[in-house]
Amino acid sequence: MANVYISVLGINYYEECVYYFKDGFELSNVRFVQEATVKYACSDWGPQDRILIFLTDDARKFNWVDFGQPARGENKQPYQGLEQRLKLLGLRAAVKDVPIKEGKDEDEIWKIFGLLFESLQPGDEVFLDITHAFRSLPMLVLVVLNYAKVLRKVGVRGIYYGAFEVLGPAYEVSKWPVEKRRAPVFDLTPFAELLDWTVAIDLFIRSGNAALVSDLAEQRVRAQKKAVQGPHAGADAARRLASRLKEFTSGLATCRGRTISKNALELKQAINLCKESPLIPQLAPLLDRLGREVEEFDGDESLDWIRAAKWCLDHGLVQQAYTILRELIINEATKHMGVPCVEPPIYRAGADRAIGTDMGILKDFRNNCAKYGLDCQPLLMHLNDKAELVGLFDEISDPRNDLNHGGMRPDPRPARAFADLLPRLIERFRTVIPGHDQESVP
């Protein structure tokens, strides 16, 4: 893994100024913003790192080599090119100029795209100065970076823009003393981070995959801890969000039924804490959208199981939805014996059999209940009164078994049939599950 600085050199005549950063760093008497951003970001880089300056033929002629700019009136004299200015910084990282076309047509733009992409190696950490990028290059560079994030796992660590134009027209500014030409360098990295969060949350909403959201939260933690020594509310909130997202999604992906309500409620709390903490202000609407994924979970265990099944269906976890619904029926049945839903294990297995078998074949189940001093009659009476519950159990069990056994049966269902059947089954649960006859489930 190496650090990489990328910038595009322009062709204009650049006035000397003072470039300054929000954190107090500044560099005086510089014409090229690249001098300031390289000094700011790359001073401690080593030989394994790279500083890449992309330039057209005209940029090389006018601003890369020394004295390429012709004298232009009384106050405009030729000056040293960027190549020499970077050498004077005494950098340990290698500086390389990369020739590019002007981008006058689509073919040239695609060639620039290829050069930018090929300049990045797997795992590179990229710092970008877009001040002098011309025409479509700023957008093109951002597309390349996102392309490389996927294919080469690069990271974006800095995006800078030197705003000389805020001082006013160049011909007016050139009349000022250099020390009064103070131009800010904007750190645009949060915009790239916001784009990453947008993609990550969209992926989570569509697929239930929280890996990208968790990774971004962990990156935010590291960045904040590095910038601020000691406790930091934003970092703590981001870490909690990453942890709770992993627990919620992995719990549903592996059908951890006993923690469904707990994980959902803790995730809701973590999202709210993140919204209150100073991450990126523009993240708030995205976090609101993330919160809607779990807003219906309220701690009612039976309803939360139904909601979990619906969530699984919405996020492509069809097999998990069938498993959760089937086990929910057993949970409801065991409540009528007044015992925990998983203890003793043989009782749960017996209840499973009692629900799913003919009412006359219950000798083993009765014997197991007697062994543990349990009265099975309340359950049997409940099942006698709930023929629909028994029927629903059988209706769920068949496709669930088809899924769990990989379709290795004489007449397996087509893949699309499982998701098609689920909405009707989920809707029926709201009337079948005892005590929730009038509840609506999202």
Cα 372–chain centre separation: 50
Whether the bond into 344 is cis, omega within 30 of 0: yes
Is the CB of residue 322 less than 8 Å from the CB of residue 396? yes
Q: Which residues contact 112 (CB under 8 A, 6 or more apart)?
A: 54, 100, 101, 103, 137, 140
Say what the pLDDT of residue 132 is. Answer: 82
Nearest to 52 by CA among 161, 126, 143, 163: 126
Which H, E and C letters describe 342-378, residue by residue?
CCCHHHHHHHHHHHHCCCCCCHHHHHHHHHCCCCCHH
Over the Cα atoms of the chain, what is R_g? 32
Residue with tokens 């990989």: 406
Beta bridge partners, 19, equal 27, 183
Closest C-alpha among 315, 283, 276, 281 to residue 196:
283
> Hey, how many other C-beta atoms are within 10 angstroms of the C-beta on 319?
17
- 182 neighbors 18 (Cβ within 8 angstroms): yes
Q: What is the pLDDT of residues 252-269, one digit of tens each?
A: 999 999 999 999 999 999
Please say whether the beta carbons of 76 and 83 come within 8 A: no
d(CA 217, CA 290): 13
Mean pLDDT across the chain, nearest whole number? 84
pLDDT of residue 279: 64
**pLDDT exceeds 50 at position 150:** yes
Output the six-digit token pair for 320: 């998990």
Best mean pLDDT range from 82-91, 293-302, 336-345, 395-404: 82-91
Q: How many other β-carbons are positioned within 10 Å of the β-carbon of residue 250?
A: 12
Beta strand 26-30 with 17-20 is antiparallel
**Burial zone of 428 (CB within 10 Å; 0-12 exposed, 13-18 middle, 19+ buried):** middle
Residues in the chain: 442
63 vs 61: CA distance, rounded Å:
6
Please give the pLDDT value at position 219. 79
Compute CA distances 193 → 133, 136, 160, 211, 258, whole Å: 20, 21, 14, 16, 35
Q: Which of 26-35, 162-171, 218-227 has the lowest mean pLDDT?
A: 218-227
Smallest CA-to-CA distance from 436 within 329, 334, 319 is with: 329
Q: Say if residue 177's pLDDT is above 60.
A: yes
102-133 pLDDT, tens digit each: 888 889 989 999 999 999 999 999 999 999 86
pLDDT at position 439 over 50: no
Distances (CA, A) of 372 to 166, 346, 363: 82, 9, 15
Q: What is the pLDDT of residue 98?
A: 95
Output the pTM of the full model. Answer: 0.76
